[in-house]
Amino acid sequence: MRGRSAYPGWWVAAAVALVGFSRVSFFNPVLGVFIDPLEQEFGWSRTEIAGALSVGTLVGGAIAPFIGPYVDRWGGRWFMVGSVIVMGVLLLALAFVETLGQFYVFFGTGRAIGTGILDLAIVVTISNWFIRSRGRATALVMVGTRGAMALMPLVVLLFISIADWRAAFAALGVILLVFAAIPPYFLVRRRPEDLGLRPDGDRPAVTEGAAGSGGQPRTDDPVWTVHDVVRTRTFWLLLWGMSAMFFVGGATNLSMASHLQDNGLSQATAISVITVWAITGIVGGMLGGELRERMGLRFALPLVMMGTTLSLIILLTVQNVWMAYLFALTHGIFFGAQLPLNQIALSDYFGRWSAGAIRGISAPVHWGVNAAGPVTAGLIFDSRGSYDIMFVGFVGLMLMGAALIVLSGKPPDPPPPRETPTDSASSEPASERA
């Protein structure tokens, strides 16, 4: 029997973790560090700056339904390599922006790539290589994402302090091009079956194809189509339950650094708190993966959402440094645990064979509300001078979302597939099979 340590899927997951690291350069916490210097140099409002992120998120959600089926068919390798290179070039271009329009084009395009292409490539790749250990594999990928959330704001702050915000954007671009573009080219392949392997490194007798005798799908590897998925009650409850996370996360991650400073903390302290938050999120990501393995996603995800709700109450009432760090620890753990569970939710319920297409059709809703979050935060701050009322509303939204996911239940068995998924292996590009 092939040893678990020899299974190449773990090297695939490590390469995907570096891709996850790269896309954080267009995430809310990183943009949040740029807000003050952009305000000071150009006089742009927080709403205008957040708008670039929101526009990019909306575009990413709009293109995802068209990209998803191609990621299912061809695999994530070239989508990852090409996207990371383009994002690195866009970051270098951001170092030279002079107008708000240029900022929207460069930052918005990078954000669209991260949400509309890389998100799908990451989810599909991990879903294809892992079934039983999918939670732990996704937790490994989240180490890259959460590690970047800890390091990238510090890199930005460092270059702003010794040079300026332009140097900070350029530094991020170089980091992506040097460290994140090459590993997926050498390590990532579409599915383990393309190399004569099986998900999780199991022997062929354990997971022989996606179907059992008579072409019936295995219970742990069902064959769903988008057409069948959208007819289930489970999909719609999951869609709207998870939407609460996307909306609240989009607004909170962008505004929390500014909120801490508005409550009397220095910028250096706020950045330190965000760093603790991000590092703690690595532990949270591992916790989320373990919870999925032990209690199933239906209960694990609502549990960590309730923990995130508690942390938002702490953020709302922050008055001093120790409360800020208490928020960093609690929100870091629970929000960090949300990330892997969110990544694998639809694959856990509906299998891996159409994971890109299914996540793609959910993307316009999920990324749409995620885009609305930062704009909502900016509008509330510009009109009221505080984020407090926003966080009060977020508590109710998160509790509602958790309830919807609990109510989602297990979907019915899918209709028998018209053909076994492995019949379509010939659609893979030759370069993917190399």
The string of pLDDT tens digits covering residues 24-47 is 999 977 898 898 899 999 999 888
Residue 203 belongs to a domain: no
Q: What whole-number percentage of the chain has pLDDT above 70? A: 91
**In-domain check, residue 285:** yes
For the stretch 238-262, pLDDT in tens is 999 999 999 998 888 778 878 888 8
**For residue 422, pLDDT beyond 80:** no
Average pLDDT for residues 282-304, to the nearest whole number? 91
pLDDT at 266 over 90: no
Residue 218: φ, ψ to 5°: -65, 150
Whole-number pLDDT of residue 418: 65
| Number of domains forming the structure of the chain | 1
Q: What is the model's pLDDT at position 426?
A: 45
Does residue 260 lie in a domain region?
yes
| Domain containing residue 288: CATH number | 1.20.1250.20
Q: Given a cut of 90, is residue 269 above it in pLDDT?
A: no
**Are 401 and 240 contacting, i.e. CB atoms less than 8 angstroms apart?**
yes
Question: How many alpha carbons fall within 13 Å on the CB side of residue 5?
Answer: 0
Per-residue pLDDT band for 1 (boundaries 50, 70, 90) equals: very low
The Cα 114–Cα 142 span in angstroms is 15
The predicted pLDDT at position 219 comes to: 56
Using the predicted structure, report yes or no on whether residue 12 has a pLDDT greater than 70.
Answer: yes
Beta bridge partners of 218: 221
What local confidence, expressed as pLDDT, does residue 261 receive? 83
The confidence band for 384, taking pLDDT boundaries of 50, 70 and 90, is confident
Domain that holds residue 48: 8-191+220-414
3-class DSSP string for the chain: CCCHHHCCHHHHHHHHHHHHHHHHHHCHHHHHHHHHHHHHHHCCCHHHHHHHHHHHHHHHHHHHHHHHHHHHHHCCHHHHHHHHHHHHHHHHHHCCCCCHHHHHHHHHHHHHHHHHHHHHHHHHHHHHHCCCCHHHHHHHHHHHHHHHHHHHHHHHHHHHHHCCHHHHHHHHHHHHHHHCCHHHHHHCCCCHHHHCCCHHHCCCCCCCCCECHHHCEECCECCCCHHHHCCCHHHHHHHHHHHHHHHHHHHHHHHHHHHHHHCCCCHHHHHHHHHHHHHHHHHHHHHHHHHHHHHCHHHHHHHHHHHHHHHHHHHHCCCCHHHHHHHHHHHHHHHHHHHHHHHHHHHHHHCCCCHHHHHHHHHHHHHHHHHHHHHHHHHHHHHHCCCHHHHHHHHHHHHHHHHHHHHHCCCCCCCCCCCCHHHHHHHCCHHHHC
Residue 267 pLDDT class (50, 70, 90 cuts): confident
pLDDT at 431: 47
Give tens-digit pLDDT for 210-233.
444 334 445 568 889 999 999 999
| pTM for this model (two decimals) | 0.85
In a domain, 342, yes or no: yes
